[in-house]
Structures are given as structure tokens and as C-alpha cells.
């Protein structure tokens, strides 16, 4: 295995590419920290401090957590010793405004920068298929990937909870989700390309083969 001192990597990918899964696997193999913006929000709420209460109120209102708050939370986490060997950012930044805010804050407050942006590419038809097959457990949120007729019985193998399909994973809404994602993210991909740090990786095949491609592209080894 290989460690990458102080490297900051951003993982990009449309809903359905397995970005979170790959971020966790690559981080483990390359001895980096995996930092998910969603996890940061949940942890802040669980702590119950002033920031946590603020984030909770924002999320419960249905609004997005402001960029400045998210950026500060990411910076705080990056300053911790567990990020010393490098970190993979998953779920942030999501657009150019957030990317520029992160770059500016990293430079001014920590003398660091984003070193690599990994974009996992999967054909739109495959993304629609994957998302349309996704089911979740209501109790433990374990994901399942299967056809509706295969989801029998409708219970989780881990906890016995009911399996359900999110409304935004229904086939007729998946395409709209992808269109919204690409409208916001294509400029971000171009931004990192102009910065000379974008790596595009084929997201097809087995989970293991995709992980191997990403690790190799980032300069690691199996």
C-alpha cells in the first residue's frame, strides 16, 4: 500500500456512479482519509454544538447548507491530524462557486490546494439503469441493487426492515436528476480541467476494477 502525504483529492461523479463507494475504497487502499460532506453535516448535528444546531435548523427547513459553512467545516476537518496523509473529498465541492471558495480558503488559511480531481465516467443509459434498480432499507438504509420483481421478500437481509425505492430513483424522475447534475457539474469538471488536475476514469465494470483504475491514475499501486 501507499500513502500520499498531504494530497487533497476531489471525487466527482453523477448519481449512480458509485462515487461514495469508490472514495471509501480508494482512501483505504491509499491510506488517505475519506471526507464526505454528508457525514460532516450528520456529525455536526450529533454533536449538538452551536454549529450543529445551525446546520440542523437549515437541513430541517429543506434548504442547502450555505457554502461558507460547508467550506469551514471541510477546512476544520482538513486541519486535523488524521488528514495528514491526504484526504478524499466526497460530495464537495458541487459547483464552481464552492470550488473557488475552497481553493481560496485552502491557500489563505492552510497554504494547501486541491491536488487532483477524479471524475468517474459512466454512460447516461447505464446511470439511469443503476438508479432505477436502487432500493433502500427504511431502518438501516442498506442499499440494494435489483429489479423490482427480485425484491422478494421486501425486507432487509441485515435488520429485517422494509425495502423501498426513493421517489427520485423512479425511472421517470432519474433523467431529470441527471440533467440537473450535469448542468451544475460540467462547468466544475471544466474548471478542474483548466487547472490541469482533472483525471477521468472509466466507471464501468466491477467495483474492484474501477478502484484499481482510480488508484493507478492517482499514482498508487495495488
Give the residue numbers annotated as catalytic, written as ranges.
19, 94, 134, 166, 177
CA 35, CA 51: separation in Å to the nearest integer? 18
Q: Name every residue whose Cβ is closer than 8 Å to that of residue 195 and which is 6 or more positions away in sequence.
A: 114, 117
Q: Name every residue whose Cβ is closer than 8 Å to that of residue 214 and which is 6 or more positions away in sequence.
A: 22, 26, 118, 120, 201
* 129 contacts 136 by C-beta, under 8 angstroms: no
**If phi over 0 gives left and psi between -120 and 50 gives alpha, with beta otherwise, what is residue 6?**
left
> CA torsion sign, 26 to 93 to 70 to 19?
negative
Q: How many CB atoms lie within 10 A of CB 157?
A: 11
CA 56, CA 64: separation in Å to the nearest integer? 11
Amino acid at each position: 500500500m501507499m500513502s500520499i502525504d498531504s494530497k487533497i483529492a476531489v471525487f466527482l461523479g453523477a448519481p449512480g456512479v458509485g462515487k461514495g463507494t469508490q472514495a471509501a475504497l480508494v482512501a483505504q487502499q491509499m491510506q488517505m482519509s475519506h471526507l464526505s460532506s454528508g457525514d460532516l453535516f450528520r456529525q455536526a448535528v450529533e454533536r449538538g454544538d452551536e454549529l450543529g444546531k445551525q446546520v440542523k435548523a437549515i437541513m430541517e427547513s429543506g434548504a442547502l447548507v450555505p457554502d461558507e459553512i460547508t467550506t469551514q467545516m471541510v477546512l476544520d476537518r482538513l486541519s486535523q491530524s488524521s488528514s495528514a496523509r491526504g484526504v478524499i473529498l466526497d460530495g464537495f465541492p458541487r459547483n464552481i462557486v464552492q470550488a473557488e471558495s475552497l481553493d481560496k480558503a485552502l491557500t489563505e488559511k492552510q497554504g494547501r490546494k486541491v491536488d487532483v480531481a477524479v471524475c468517474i465516467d459512466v454512460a447516461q443509459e447505464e446511470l439511469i439503469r443503476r438508479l432505477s434498480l436502487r432500493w433502500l432499507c427504511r431502518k438501516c438504509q442498506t442499499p440494494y441493487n435489483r429489479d423490482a420483481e427480485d425484491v422478494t421478500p421486501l425486507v432487509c437481509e441485515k435488520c429485517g426492515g422494509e425495502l423501498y425505492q426513493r421517489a427520485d430513483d423512479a425511472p421517470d424522475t432519474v433523467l431529470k436528476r441527471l440533467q440537473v447534475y450535469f448542468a451544475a457539474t460540467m462547468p466544475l469538471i471544466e474548471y478542474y480541467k483548466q487547472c490541469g488536475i482533472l483525471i477521468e476514469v472509466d466507471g464501468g465494470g466491477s467495483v474492484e476494477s474501477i478502484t484499481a483504475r482510480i488508484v493507478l491514475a492517482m499514482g498508487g499501486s495495488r
